[in-house]
Amino acid sequence: MNGFVVENRIWDQEECLPRNELTALQTARLKETVARVGKVPFYRDALGKAGVTADSIRSLDDLRRLPFTTKDDLRNYYPLGMLAVDRKEVARYHGSSGTTGKPTMVAYTKKDLEHWANLCARFLTGGGLRPEHSVQIAFGYGLFTGGFGLHYGVERVGASVIPVSAGNTPKQIMLMLDMQIDALVCTPSYALTLSEFIIQNDIPRSALNLKYAHFGGEPWTEDLRTRIEAEMGILCFNNYGLSEVIGPGVSGECAARNGMHISEDAFIVECINPETLEPVPPGEEGELVFTSLCKEAMPIIRYRTRDIASLNPEPCACGRTTVRMGRVTGRSDDMMIIKGVNVYPSQIEQALLRVDGTAPHYQIEIDRPDRRDIVTVKVELTEKSFSASMKEMQELRERIDHAIHGITGLRMNVELVSPNTLDRFVGKAQRVVDHRKKV
């Protein structure tokens, strides 16, 4: 580690409201939001069916009377059917990173953009950003909310931005060195690619001035944090968000790095059982559901994120009173069902990071040749383990098999592949290739 310590800093007082004041604020804003979505045909119909009007909202308990919104609902109203303002009031559009077909378009008024920058400034401040720092943004700038979202958050804090965007690893490292950059913003999988480049090119850690990084945009594990922190000698912070809700800035870690504080003055969060739709108790994993409270252009009510995480309402040492979410362990739609068992790619990552001799680059292939699921985990070897004897390789394979079995309860084929042969990602990693879906 470089010895960098993040002091406990709070960006604005809304993060520390006493719970009763926060509840009153949320209730008032929920009422406003319900009134605002009356202009959106989808919500007008859904609220009409549920018999809810803005005036009938008296407390946060009324939230449960409101309809859910799903990704399919947004798709059905593509591109701008969910807009709650005139198009002339829209200042910017972004789109969510759909894997197939058309993106889900989201819109922001000028006020929404201000609000969004403030939300990003909050978690960046909590995670070490100071006005004197320079920040390299290696998220894609474009429809993806990562680049622009973080960009304006950094500027709001008064720090300087190096908007490199995603990709071109040698140039990223060159700038990081030449500009003596303080902080990095990207996906955790791209950080791994950057770290690998630094190691492979024998760049001494002392040549870098990098102190900390803010990672988000995809699930990652605590083991990966430990790995990147050790390799790059920096502190890594987690931040979470999604386009439909606003983009990055929904939540982020403070200096305590024990869960991501959700900006509850801006969003109401629920954690539900995805099957029964009933709330799950604090600390238990469930699907996160968000309702926006301040958005003008595209307010959203009870959006089912498909992200699986738990909530922790306990007060945090940092002084923020907001609820914290744990790591997203997976998305319910990323979940692989293998021999009837639910498995997330993050579980495989966790297993691999616990076995020495493997690089944290992997790919999961699923097939069903004769109605039996066969899973092959391709794991990249490190240069050192690549030169090992057959016997050592066999032992390594057994250790990986054992680690995967320990975490998932399943046996998978483990295929060791040469160093640097699996795809590297500049944005969000695509780890799973499911051949079953093509049949």
Measured between alpha carbons, how far is residue 187 from residues 6, 138, 208, 225, 228 in Å?
21, 8, 19, 12, 12
CA distance 386 to 193: 19
CB-nearer residue toward ligand DLL: 247 or 357:
247
Q: Does 345 bind ligand DLL (CB under 6 A)?
A: no
CA distance 188 to 226: 12
Least separation in angstroms between residue 201's CB and ligand DLL is: 27
- CB count in 10 Å sphere of residue 203: 14
Looking from the CA of 70 toward its CB, the CA atoms found within 13 Å total 9
Q: Does 74 bind ligand DLL (CB under 6 A)?
A: no
Query: With CB under 6 A as the contact rule, which of the stretches 49-57, 69-77, 215-223, 267-275 interacts with ligand DLL?
Result: 215-223
Q: Does 96 bind ligand DLL (CB under 6 A)?
A: yes
Q: Does 307 bind ligand DLL (CB under 6 A)?
A: yes
Query: With CB under 6 A as the contact rule, which of the stretches 165-173, 235-243, 261-269, 337-345 interacts with ligand DLL?
Result: 235-243
CB-nearer residue toward ligand DLL: 31 or 324:
324
Query: With CB under 6 A as the contact rule, which of the stretches 140-148, 175-183, 336-344, 360-368 interacts with ligand DLL?
Result: 140-148
Provide the residue type at 35 as one letter.
Answer: A
Q: Does 195 bind ligand DLL (CB under 6 A)?
A: no
| Residue owning tokens 């939230």 | 63
Q: Which of 186, 112, 189 is nearest to 430 (CA)?
A: 189
Among 248, 299, 345, 357, binds ligand DLL (CB under 6 A): 248
Q: Does 217 bind ligand DLL (CB under 6 A)?
A: yes
Least separation in angstroms between residue 254's CB and ligand DLL is: 14
Q: Does 218 bind ligand DLL (CB under 6 A)?
A: yes
3-state secondary structure of 382: coil
C-beta separation of 73 from 331 below 8 A: no
Among 328, 400, 404, 414, binds ligand DLL (CB under 6 A): 328
CB neighbours of 399 closer than 8 A, spacing ≥ 6?
Answer: 355
| Residue owning tokens 């990323």 | 334
Nearest-10 crossing angle of helices 345-353, 390-408? 130
Count residues contacting ligand DLL (CB under 6 A)?
Answer: 22
- CB count in 10 Å sphere of residue 365: 16
First to last CA, the chain: 49
The helix (H) or strand (E) run that includes residue 375 is: strand 374-381
- CB count in 10 Å sphere of residue 41: 11
Q: Does 148 bind ligand DLL (CB under 6 A)?
A: no
Least separation in angstroms between residue 422's CB and ligand DLL is: 21
Q: Does 257 bind ligand DLL (CB under 6 A)?
A: no
Among 153, 247, 259, 286, binds ligand DLL (CB under 6 A): 247
CB-nearer residue toward ligand DLL: 146 or 357:
146
Query: With CB under 6 A as the contact rule, which of the stretches 24-32, 53-61, 234-242, 359-367 interacts with ligand DLL?
Result: 234-242
Write out the residues near ligand DLL by the rule CB under 6 A.
96-97, 139, 144-146, 216-219, 238-243, 247-248, 305, 307, 328, 331
